[in-house]
Structure 1
Amino acid sequence: MTMTKVLANPNSIVMIIDDTPDNLALLSDTLSESGYRVLVATDGCSALEQIEYLRPDIILLDVMMPGINGFETCNRLKANPKTTHIPVLFMTALSELDDLLRGFGEGAVDYMVKPIRPPEVLARVEAQLIQARNIQRAENALNNGPYCALAINANGKITWLPEAATHWLNDFVLAHLLLDDIKVETLLPASMISWVKAQMGKPDTNDFMPFESIKGEFHFSAKLIPCCHADEYLLLMEKHSGHWNIDSVKHSLGLTSREAEILMWISRGKTNKEIGMILGGSPRTVNKHLEHIFEKLGVVTRAAAVSIAMQRTSNLSLLSEGNAS
């Protein structure tokens, strides 16, 4: 049985940066004939100017060029948040190990040794485009989902910071007026680092406590999850509006104060275990309260219970606004 090969989008934009006309012609023809859109530049400065107006999906970059060389061009690309995600493949006649290692050190994902072979170019370009798109899909899912995420090492230093996580950290810093923590690109705020280190000191990851902070109208929460690497962790983070009136929910739905509180945490995506940790009880106790909530509301799922609570609080808000006017 033959398997269908999944190809990268043939409409992807490939930029070639090379000062040799023959190389430009060969690469441009090879890529164009395969369906790629091609941009060309003969030096690093003109390439950086072009990229300001039209960003390629991948860059083929010659090392030895007039003006700024390929290493410096790559360095500038990776230093710019708008272009740091673009995969760069070096093209070089240099065969010294130090030169190849320097290319990877500047942020390149791959390299090709001249003379260029068209089939190899197509294979490497396609492989890197597929990889880049998979990363972009994952980041888009995080940026548009209920959680945002970042990665940290054992010292609390940030090793991976998607856009949504940057917004969460900035909101946290501003809400808590942490003037000393304004720059969050490299380190977590001090209060979160203390929490992270306290969790890392526990021998069992099942004992990790969630992070909770309510400031003004916002509720910030986070949970720590070990990564595949022993010295790295993922932080899954949420931010909710604090507009949840426990008394209103309690009276309108006929719940006890503890039941209303548990329902609030359920609406914020917490598990029974996490709620137990927050409220100082066991998951079994939380589950027992949950059974009473289901019975009182006439539902059988957490989602249905939350839906009724949100609808009821929304109606109460509308009534209160109507009475005020």
Structure 2
Amino acid sequence: MAQLSAQDYEQVLIFLHGLYAPDSLADWPIHLPVQVSKLVAADISGCCKINFPQSQFIDGTSIPKMPHEQILEVSNQYLHEHPFATHYLETGDCRAYKLSDFVTEPQLHRMEGVYQKFLRPMGMEEQLKLTLPDDNSNTVDVLVLFRNERSFTERDRTILNLLLPHLMQARRTAQVFSQVHRENQQLRNSLNIAGGIVISKEGHIQFMTRKAEQWLQQYFPFKRLGQALPDYLQRWVNYQKSFFARYGTLLKPRLPLKIEQEGKQLTARFVADPDQDQYLLLLEEHQQPKLSAEDFELLGLSKRESEVLYWVAKGKENLEIATILHVGVTTIRKHLEHIYQKLEVKTRASAIVEALKRLGKLNYE
């Protein structure tokens, strides 16, 4: 192991400080070779993903002077003859190695794939690599530095080996970071579809999707939407919070708030998150189900009974229905008695509710 200077250690500390920055983790394959080449000078640097047991080059950062498709083709055709692949398969050794550790210059120049079809077209004569295995698969990330002459030193090797455990931990962190980012994006997408509003324990809006804001402006009259919900919706939320505070997780699911407007219906559902001291409102908009007298015939009502119940559902009184249907009020009362018997109810309101339930047009969660 080479002795590093105070300047070397200072540069390594600066590198490690930036290694875990969110931007670096998000663009790990691009960020890593660029930053490492500031510590160990290289003419070309790159990071590739390889499955050594299957001799498969999966992907890698772009390299000047060679199209990506050509890199894939040459690497997959000749990966098995590369000294790095042979050494890793035999030993599992992840430390930094140079090509010159395994082959002399004349031997390298006689290699058809590694040199004649890969290094020589790029004008490179030497590689220095560091292997980062994946705990969950056979694939490895390989950091590769190229030079146009065999000039990598033991100081360069020592720095890479010093970085190895940090790079492996940063790669794990990057994977977790990416997973969290994907999950957050999925959550935001879901909230955008449904319309989501996150409310603090104090009742302030912490996050609201654009669709939720549009629906609030459409369904609730208010002058300006700030940190608080519109008054009517806020009163409903406070009512839901009072039930949750009283019963906690034992509380049964509450009925959603439903508001109708111009043939559409906005549904608001209240979700409590006691661990985060937050509340979530999920908003959905639906077209109101269109209702016709013929629908009620599906329940076994006669044509005339269905017409009577249809107008009852429209809020008409018996006299109004009798006028519309050109019959007497006594006839309407008799039809209603038959409707009550068939639906097993006793009142006009319960007849409407029961009919809509049976037709699947009423949400009775």
Smaller-chain TM-score range? 0.3 to 0.5
How does the TM-score come out when normalised to structure 1? Answer: 0.42
RCO greater where, 1 or 2, for CA within 8 Å and sep 6 or more? Answer: 2
Is the radius of gyration larger for structure 1 or structure 2? 2
How does the TM-score come out when normalised to structure 2? Answer: 0.38
